[in-house]
Amino acid sequence: MQEQPVIDLEAEKKEILKRYKALLRACKRTLEKGDKLLIRKAFDISLEAHKDMRRKSGEPYIYHPIAVAHICAEEIGLGTTSVVCALLHDVVEDTDLTIDDIKRLFGEKEAKIIDGLTKISGVFDQSSSLQAENFRKMLLTLSDDVRVILIKLADRLHNMRTLESMKRDKQLKIASETLYLYAPLAHRLGLNAIKTELEDLGLKYTEPEVYEDIQKRLKEGEPERKKFISKFIEPIKEILAEQGLKAKIIGRPKSIFSINNKIKTKGVPFEEIFDLFAIRIIIDTEAEKEKSDCWRVYSIVTDFYHPSPERLRDWISTPKANGYESLHTTVMGPEGKWVEVQIRTVRMDELAEKGYAAHWKYKDSANESQLDDWIRKIREILENPQENALEFLDDFKLNLFAEEIFAFTPKGEMKTLPINATALDFAFDIHTKVGEKCIGAKVNHKLVPLSYKLKSGDQIEILTSSKQTPKEDWLGYVVTARAKSKIKNALKEERRKIAEDGREMLERKFNHLKIDFTVQNINELANYFKLPSSQELFYRVAVGNIDLKHLKNFRQEHGKIIHKTGEIAKKADQHKSLEQIVSETRGKSDMLVIGENLQKIDYKLSPCCNPIPGDDVFGFITINEGIKIHRVNCPNALQLLANYAYRVVKAKWTSQELISFLAGIKITGIDELGLVNNITKLISNELNVNMRSISFDTNDGTFEGTIMVFVHDTNHLTELMKKLKKVNGVLSVTRLDNN
């Protein structure tokens, strides 16, 4: 038996005290009279509550709340209330202390924030996701107090920093949830430094090979980059000093996550990404000179280096909705390399890194009102409680990461909307009633349909009619959560009114047939027609989908409705509950071995990412189709792992007999004579690979082709791709993620 390591409790006590003192130093700038005592009280309670608990790494659990409080104070810049709540954020969930105890010991505000941070415990049903429900609960508190989300982000950041000691499936679940929800949230709140770290750590655990590869290449190119940056900066530094502008100039590498994004979306290899870093010029200037001084710096930079006209971004005149202000330009630097230059002031830089927490320091009214606007929008989404927390989450997420456009009302009032927003979104942004009655719009004085996608700078006049009502297909025209939820509500209300008429029709028919119009009989009838609710039954009766003549086939016995065949109306849903399916499918082991004949589990390879042996995969338990196998970097994986972690099973491939799997390869190159012939010959002759389909498209001397081939595993595929790269005229060979 393995011996347990001996724990030096004395050394741990010293370490806890050391970390607590470091926390107090981080709080120093915000401490007021009596604050130190409050923090000490919270620390003592947390220490006592978690005294026998350890983290997965074996460390005392108290390290975690101290670290979260430290991040709140140091990296986000929050004050005493947040530090107290961070120290206590897990005590209600993990110990006997209740929210009422917190209220008694600290106060109403602290109790509310900690309640928002405490997870819902309970059973999940068919459609809901526990993660989504917890997230909604947290956002309900956010609409009163933004600190709940900032503490949650600090908690998530520390968990991501210490994810090393978790099992692989846990790492996947937490990292996916982070990329799906928490990184976009940090972005939306303007916490740039935290967003970047969450994204990089998320990638490190979802796609470790990709992460390590980019990290290694960045390290290798570092000396050369440093040389280039100092060469670029030198002349600018001199002129700035001559002109009396106090400036700090730094070269920052782009985050690993954003480099990987570029490789994926632009389809370019690492070597061809020109903006692996950005030069940031931060000037120290007075508030009233900020804008003019930033443009002065822009003028100096572009005197030396030619700017790319389409790459100028002015977020100083119109800041992003998350409060971000900066001037971005891309210029042609030494050695023919494009370089991104960001120009901003000390204040703007602090806001960009620490987001809304820094806004309180500057009490910047314009930015505060933007935060208020955003929280107002969240409140609106929450006021329309969807039956399904996942639907709510999708609507909410839509409005987190979207780039913004600016549009104007006829009177010149500016509205900020997400990219791809339509004239109908704009109408709902003005007022619900305007949206519901909208029949069209004039954009820049020209008539456009409701589905017209707005562009920055458009001026929109909404046309309405009192006869108009929201239609089902409107949901396909809008992207904002506000418009979606308002349209859904209006449609629900309309359906409810129609159902009322159906109820009356059904009641008349029941009376005519001398059947009691009771809740039990209505439900039996709904079950007989396999409908989910009595409202659906009434609605279908009203619109004529259910012919009331069918009721003649029913009679009543002891007050209960029975079909004349003697058969009692059957329950529509005699399926097993999802929980039963999950636990039966999981069985004793939580690892699914694919390709083993021993395990007769019904699994399918998911068509959205076509996994093949050798890929990093997981199994997802579906309700009707057994287990579906997805690649970990499948386009749908993030959402599944983030929202339905309890339906995920770990999966690995066994050593396969020679079974062939379908994979797709994309090839680009220069259109030379006989090239296609060379490619197909190589595939079939050299490697004995069967092709299912091949398509090539040529355009002015270049070509792009897609080949679907049958391979045994990832090694087989990699080998094939390596050989294809060597064919004369071929420029790039990549695996298709989505076949």
Write out the residue range of the structural domain in which residue 602 sits: 578-653
CATH number at residue 54: 1.10.3210.10
Considering the entire predicted model, what is its pTM?
0.69
Nearest to 321 by CA among 380, 390, 376, 374: 374
> In one letter, which amino acid is 8?
D
Written as six digits, the tokens of 47 are: 């220490």
362 in a structural domain: no
pLDDT > 60? residue 629: yes
Residue 231 and residue 127 share a domain = no
552 occurs within a structural domain: yes
The predicted pLDDT at position 125 comes to 44
Q: Give me the mean pLDDT over the 89-116 stretch.
A: 86
DSSP 126-157: SS--HHHHHHHHHHHHHTT-THHHHHHHHHHH
* Least confident interval from 452-456, 472-476, 708-712: 708-712
Higher pLDDT, 344 or 122: 344
Q: Judge if 86 and 134 occupy the same domain.
A: yes
Q: Which of 118-122, 308-312, 462-466 has the least mean pLDDT?
A: 118-122
CA dist 692 and 666 (Å) reads 14
Distance separating alpha carbons of residues 333 and 331, to the nearest angstrom: 6
CATH number at residue 254: 3.30.460.10
187 lies in the same domain as 57? yes
Are both 121 and 264 inside the same structural domain?
no
Percent of the chain with pLDDT over 70: 80
Whole-number Å distance between alpha carbons of 375 and 381? 10
Structural domain includes residue 169? yes
What pLDDT was estimated at residue 344? 94
**Average pLDDT for 285-312:** 90
Q: Which residues pair with 710 in a beta bridge?
A: 662, 690
129 is a domain residue: yes
| Residues 174, 59 within the same domain | yes
Six token digits for residue 597 = 């004949």
Q: Which pair of tokens denotes residue 305? A: 């280096």
Residues 667 and 583 in one domain: no
DSSP-derived secondary structure letter, 656? -
Shared-domain flag, residues 80 and 22: yes
Sequence-distant (≥ 6) Cβ neighbours of residue 261 within 8 angstroms: none
Are 138 and 185 in contact, with CB atoms under 8 Å apart? no
Same domain? 244 vs 162? no
Is 116 part of any domain? Answer: yes
| Token duo for residue 212 | 């390590």
- By the 8 A CB rule, do 393 and 404 touch? no
The residue among 596, 631, 653 that closes a domain is: 653
What pLDDT digit, counting tens, does each position of 9-46 carry?
788 889 889 998 998 888 887 778 888 889 999 999 99
Same domain, 223 and 255: yes
Per the DSSP assignment, residues forming a β-bridge with 593 are 652
Q: Are residue 623 and residue 671 in the same domain, yes or no?
A: no
Hey, what are 6's tokens? 């001996």
Average pLDDT over residues 729-738: 79
Q: Is residue 544 part of a domain?
A: yes
Mean pLDDT of the chain: 79
Residue 305's H or E segment, with its range, is: none
Of 608, 628, 653, the residue that ends a domain is: 653
400-411 mean pLDDT: 76
Domain boundary among 354, 381, 409: 354
- Domain of residue 671, CATH code: 3.30.70.260
To the nearest 10°, report the CA torsion of 71, 74, 77, 79: 80
Tell whether the model's pLDDT for residue 481 goes beyond 90. Answer: no
- Name the pLDDT band for 86 (thresholds 50, 70, 90): very high
> The sheet that has 730-735: what strands, in order across it?
690-699, 702-711, 661-670, 730-735
CA distance linking residue 582 with residue 586, whole number of Å:
6
| 604 and 671 both lie in a single domain | no
Answer whether residue 469 is part of any domain.
no
Query: What is the spatial distance between Cα 605 and Cα 626, in angstroms, rounded to a whole number?
Result: 11
SS3 411: coil
Whole-number pLDDT of residue 581: 57
User: Are 94 and 230 members of one domain?
Assistant: no
**180-194, 358-372, 592-606, range with greatest mean pLDDT:** 180-194
Q: What does 155-219 look like in DSSP terms, one character per residue?
A: HHHHHHHTGGGS-HHHHHHHHHHIIIIIHHHHHHTT-HHHHHHHHHHHHHHHSHHHHHHHHHHHH
Q: What is the mean pLDDT of residues 230-255?
A: 88
Highest mean pLDDT range out of 7-21, 383-397, 640-654, 696-710?
7-21
Tally of domains within the chain: 5
Per-residue pLDDT band for 388 (boundaries 50, 70, 90) equals: low
In a domain, 98, yes or no: yes
List, as one string, the DSSP characters of 36-89: HHHHHHHHHHHHHHTTT-B-TTSSBTTHHHHHHHHIIIIII---HHHHHHHHTT
Catalogue the active-site residues. 93-94
pLDDT one-digit tens code per residue, 213-241: 999 988 888 888 888 888 888 889 989 98
Confidence of residue 391 (pLDDT cuts 50, 70, 90): low
